[in-house]
C-alpha cells in the first residue's frame, strides 16, 4: 500500500496531467481551426469511463493504460475517405497544410507552455533551497581541484549569470558539460574575498558508467556553513526533553569528544541508537552534564538511526528563491528555453555517442523520480513535472514518423513541394518510426530493470 501511495499515485497523477495538457493542445487548436473532434482519450486500451458531450458530441474517454493519449478528428487516418460531403469542410485531412501543422504542433507546444507556467508559479511562491556553498571532493584530480575550488566557497554567479541555489549551480554546470566548455565561477571565499574558479569541462563526459553524480565527478560537493551546536527546538516527549535539554543549550561535548557544530551532534546521535551518551552543555554560562539515550527510528531507505528530538537553526544553509510576477515569468520562460536547449543537446550527444545510451530512462525510472520528488514536497514535485513536461514536448517534436514531429516534417515537405507525399512513402515512414519507437521503449525498459537489479 505504501508503494502505491508513494510512487504509483504520484506517477499516474503527474503523467496524467502532462498527457491531458498535450492532448488539450491538439483539441483546442483543432476546434479553433474548425475541425470536428470525434474522441478525446487519456490513456490507451479498454475505456474505464466514456461520455459524450459538447456541440459535436465528442466522446471523452479515460482508458486503462495511462501511458499516452490521443485526439481523434474527423477525416483523420483510415477514415479520411469516408467523410460526408456535408462535413468535408470540418475534416482534418481537408484543411490547408498550415492549419494541420498548427494542430499537430499544439500538443508539444502546450507541454512547453505548461513548464513555463509551473516554473512561474514556483518563482512567485518562492522555494527554500540549499545555498550554493561548495568544497572540492576528496578526489586527487578533478576539474574543481584544478580550478582552485576551496572549502566554503559560495558561488555567486557562473559566467555572469546569478546563482542563488545549489539547484541553479547544478543546471548551469550541466549545461557547460553538455557544451564541453569552461565554466567560470565567481565565488565569495570563506574569508569574505571575491575570487574566480575556472572549471575546464572540455574533456568531461556525462557518460554514467560509474553511476556517480556528474557534479560529484566534477569534483564538487555541497558544504553548507557550520551551524553552531546550539539547540533551537526540543521535541516534547523526546529523548532530549526527557534528559533535560532545553532550547538555547549549547552542546560542548559528547562522551568526552568536543563538538564543533550541529552536524557533529547529528552524526554521533545517528550512529548511537539505544546507547546512553554523556552530554556536556552550557546553559546561562554554567556547564551541565546530561545523559541522553537516542531512540531508534527507521529511515526511508530502511536503515536504522538514532534520534533525540532536537532542532538547530539551519537558516544560514538555505535561501528563499522568490521573484515578482513579471520577473518570475521572464525567468520561467528563459529557464524553460534553456532546459529545452539542454534536452536537444543531450539527444544530440546521445546520437553521436558522447553520452551513453544507459542514460535513456523509461516509465519505471520516471515513476521512481515522481515518487521521490513528491516525498520531498510540493515544490520538488512541481519542478519534476515541469522537467518531464519539457522532455515530453521536445521528444514529440523530433522528426520521427509516428511522433508529432514526424507529421510536422511531412507537412513541411508538403508545403515546399505543393502536394502531399505519396501514400506509400507515408506507410514506410510510419513502419520505420513505429519500429524505432518500440526499440527505444524496449531499451528504456531494459535500462530501468537493469538499474533496479544493480
Nearest to 3 by CA among 417, 343, 371, 444: 371
On the question of a common fold for 127-224+314-321 and 231-313, the answer reads yes
Report domain extents, the chain: 1-33+95-124+323-425, 127-224+314-321, 231-313
What pLDDT does 254 receive?
A: 94
Q: What percent of the chain has pLDDT over 70?
A: 94
Phi and psi torsions of 52, nearest 5°: -100, 135
Question: Does 209 score more than 60 pLDDT?
Answer: no
Catalytic residue among 23, 128, 267, 414: 23
CATH architecture of structural domain 231-313:
Roll (2.30)
Give the mean model confidence (pLDDT) for residues 431-444.
80
Band of the pLDDT at 1, cuts 50, 70, 90? low
Condensed to tens digits (0 to 9), the pLDDT of residues 158-169 reads 998 889 889 889
What span, in angstroms and rounded, lies between the C-alpha atoms of 338 and 327?
16
Condensed to tens digits (0 to 9), the pLDDT of residues 22-58 reads 999 999 999 999 999 999 999 888 888 889 988 888 9
**Cβ pair 197, 188 in contact under 8 A:** no
Question: Does 306 score more than 60 pLDDT?
Answer: yes
Phi and psi torsions of 439, nearest 5°: -65, -40
Condensed to tens digits (0 to 9), the pLDDT of residues 157-196 reads 999 888 988 988 998 898 888 888 899 999 999 888 999 9
Question: Does 240 score more than 90 pLDDT?
Answer: yes
Fold exhibited by the domain 127-224+314-321: Pdz3 Domain (2.30.42)
Is 7 or 107 the better-scoring residue by pLDDT? 107
Question: Does 283 score more than 90 pLDDT?
Answer: yes
Band of the pLDDT at 332, cuts 50, 70, 90? very high
Give the mean model confidence (pLDDT) for residues 229-256.
93
What pLDDT does 190 receive?
A: 85
Band of the pLDDT at 301, cuts 50, 70, 90? low
Question: Does 355 score more than 70 pLDDT?
Answer: no
CA dihedral over 60, 66, 70, 72, signed as positive or negative = negative
- In the numeric block, the cell 563526459 is attached to 205
Nearest to 266 by CA among 281, 246, 286, 251: 251
What pLDDT does 102 receive?
A: 94
Is 154 or 207 the better-scoring residue by pLDDT? 154
Condensed to tens digits (0 to 9), the pLDDT of residues 111-141 reads 999 999 999 999 998 888 889 999 998 888 8
* Model pTM score: 0.78
Whole-number mean pLDDT of the chain? Answer: 86
**Cβ pair 389, 395 in contact under 8 A:** no
Band of the pLDDT at 415, cuts 50, 70, 90? confident
b (16+ CB within 10 A) / e for 307-325:
bbbbebeeeebebebebee
Listed as own residue / partner, the contacts of 55-62 with beta carbons closer than 8 Å and 24 or more positions apart are none
Question: Does 208 score more than 60 pLDDT?
Answer: no
What pLDDT does 106 receive?
A: 95
Verify whether residue 267 is a known catalytic residue: no
Amino acid at each position: 500500500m505504501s508503494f502505491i501511495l508513494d510512487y504509483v499515485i504520484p506517477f499516474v497523477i503527474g503523467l496524467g496531467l502532462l498527457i491531458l495538457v498535450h492532448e488539450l493542445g491538439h483539441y483546442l487548436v483543432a476546434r479553433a481551426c474548425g475541425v470536428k473532434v470525434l474522441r478525446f482519450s487519456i490513456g490507451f486500451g479498454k475505456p474505464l469511463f466514456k461520455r459524450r458531450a459538447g456541440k459535436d458530441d465528442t466522446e471523452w474517454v479515460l482508458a486503462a493504460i495511462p501511458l499516452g493519449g490521443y485526439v481523434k478528428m474527423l477525416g483523420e487516418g483510415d477514415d479520411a475517405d469516408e467523410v460526408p460531403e456535408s462535413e468535408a469542410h470540418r475534416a482534418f485531412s481537408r484543411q490547408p497544410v498550415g492549419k494541420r501543422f498548427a494542430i499537430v504542433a499544439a500538443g508539444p507546444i502546450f507541454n512547453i507552455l505548461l513548464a513555463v507556467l509551473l516554473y512561474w508559479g514556483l518563482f512567485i511562491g518562492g522555494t527554500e533551497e540549499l545555498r550554493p556553498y561548495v568544497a572540492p571532493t576528496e578526489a586527487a584530480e578533478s576539474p574543481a581541484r584544478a580550478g582552485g575550488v576551496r572549502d566554503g566557497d559560495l558561488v555567486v554567479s557562473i559566467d555572469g549569470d546569478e546563482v542563488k541555489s545549489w539547484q541553479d549551480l547544478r543546471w548551469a554546470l550541466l549545461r557547460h558539460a553538455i557544451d564541453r566548455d569552461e565554466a567560470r565561477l565567481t565565488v565569495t571565499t570563506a574569508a569574505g574575498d571575491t575570487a574566480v574558479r575556472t572549471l575546464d569541462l572540455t574533456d568531461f563526459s556525462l557518460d554514467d558508467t560509474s553511476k556517480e553524480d556528474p557534479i560529484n565527478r566534477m569534483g564538487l560537493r555541497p558544504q553548507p556553513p557550520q551551524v553552531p551546536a546550539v539547540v533551537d527546538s526540543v521535541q516534547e516527549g523526546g529523548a532530549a526533553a526527557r534528559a533535560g535539554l532545553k532550547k538555547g543549550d549549547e552542546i560542548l561535548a559528547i562522551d568526552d569528544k568536543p563538538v564543533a557544530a550541529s552536524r557533529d551532534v547529528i552524526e554521533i546521535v545517528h550512529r548511537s541508537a539505544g546507547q546512553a551518551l554523556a552530554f556536556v552543555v552550557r546553559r546561562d554560562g554554567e556547564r551541565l552534564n546530561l545523559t541522553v539515550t537516542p531512540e531508534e527510528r527507521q529511515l526511508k531507505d530502511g536503515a536504522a538511526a538514532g534520534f533525540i528530538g532536537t532542532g538547530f537553526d539551519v537558516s544560514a544553509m538555505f535561501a528563499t528563491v522568490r521573484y515578482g510576477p513579471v520577473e518570475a515569468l521572464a525567468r520561467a520562460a528563459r529557464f524553460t528555453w534553456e532546459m529545452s536547449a539542454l534536452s536537444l543537446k543531450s539527444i544530440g550527444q546521445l546520437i553521436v555517442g558522447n553520452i551513453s545510451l544507459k542514460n535513456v530512462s523509461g516509465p519505471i525510472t520516471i515513476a521512481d523520480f515522481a515518487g521521490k520528488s513528491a516525498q520531498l514536497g510540493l515544490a520538488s514535485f512541481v519542478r519534476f513535472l515541469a522537467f518531464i513536461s519539457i522532455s515530453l514536448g521536445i521528444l514529440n517534436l523530433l522528426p520521427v514518423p509516428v511522433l508529432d514531429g514526424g507529421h510536422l516534417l511531412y507537412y513541411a515537405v508538403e508545403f515546399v513541394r505543393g502536394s502531399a507525399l505519396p501514400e506509400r512513402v507515408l506507410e514506410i515512414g510510419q513502419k520505420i518510426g513505429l519500429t524505432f519507437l518500440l526499440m527505444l521503449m524496449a531499451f528504456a525498459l531494459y535500462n530501468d530493470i537493469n538499474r533496479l537489479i544493480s
